[in-house]
């Protein structure tokens, strides 16, 4: 192939300096209903109020556009996470803080995302027990999975591999939620 990467005058460091922040990707994984999207939304709200430049990438939203047409086979799940990681890398190069909310159930996929994104990758495991997730069940997916209407559903008929190198945040109660958001805001503030 005759593809050559171009280097431009303005670097990530220049973009970070203008934004007065250190770019990073907060990669949140966990079961459906664990609270990833809710935490991401509140985290971005607080960071925005503090003047940070952020963007949320959410599993459902990316599957409506960028990853439209990908299913839930192992190959499609790998490609879904790979594409998202490439977008995170670009957004980090733009000096942005990216907040990701993806089930990303397999260690090998999270490892691949970290390899693509690089040192800007901060892995967070939103640890809510299965019973809590099923009780929340905001989309009715667990009920469908238990009835056999959804195959390969993470936590029911497909495994979730607990991250081995992530910061684990319990998220079973409102107190947990509040503490988790505060922890993540402080993490960003201290990311120099």
Burial of 7 (0-12, 13-18, 19+ CB in 10 A): exposed
Active site residue 104: yes
Helices 107-117, 74-93: axis angle to 10 degrees equals 20
Question: How many other CB atoms are there within 10 angstroms of residue 2's CB atom?
Answer: 3
Name the catalytic one among 29, 34, 104, 157: 104
The sheet carrying 121-127 orders its strands as: 54-58, 97-101, 24-29, 121-127, 167-170
Task: Check if the beta carbon of residue 105 is closer than 8 Å to that of residue 29.
Answer: yes
CA distances from 118 to 25, 68, 82 (A): 9, 26, 13
CA distance 38 to 181: 10
> b/e for 20-54, b at 16 or more Cβ within 10 A?
ebbbbbbbbbbbbbbbbbbbbebbbeebeeeebbb
Q: Which residues are catalytic?
A: 104
């Amino acid at each position: 192939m005759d593809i050559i990467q171009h280097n431009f005058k303005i670097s990530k460091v220049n973009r970070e300096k203008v934004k007065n922040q250190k770019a990073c990707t907060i990669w949140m994984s966990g079961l459906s209903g664990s609270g990833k999207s809710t935490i991401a939304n509140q985290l971005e709200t607080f960071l925005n109020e503090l003047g940070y430049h952020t963007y949320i990438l959410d599993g459902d939203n990316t599957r409506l556009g960028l990853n439209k047409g990908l299913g839930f086979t192992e190959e499609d799940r790998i490609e879904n996470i790979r594409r998202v990681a490439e977008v995170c890398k670009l957004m980090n190069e733009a000096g942005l803080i990216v907040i990701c909310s993806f089930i990303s159930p397999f260690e090998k996929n999270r490892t691949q995302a970290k390899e693509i994104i690089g040192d800007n990758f901060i892995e967070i495991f939103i640890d809510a027990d299965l019973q809590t997730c099923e009780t929340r069940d905001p989309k009715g997916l667990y009920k469908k999975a238990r009835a056999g209407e959804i195959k390969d559903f993470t936590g029911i008929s497909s495994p979730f591999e607990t991250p081995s190198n992530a910061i684990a945040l319990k998220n079973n109660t409102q107190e947990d939620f509040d503490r988790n958001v505060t922890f993540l805001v402080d993490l960003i503030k201290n990311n120099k």
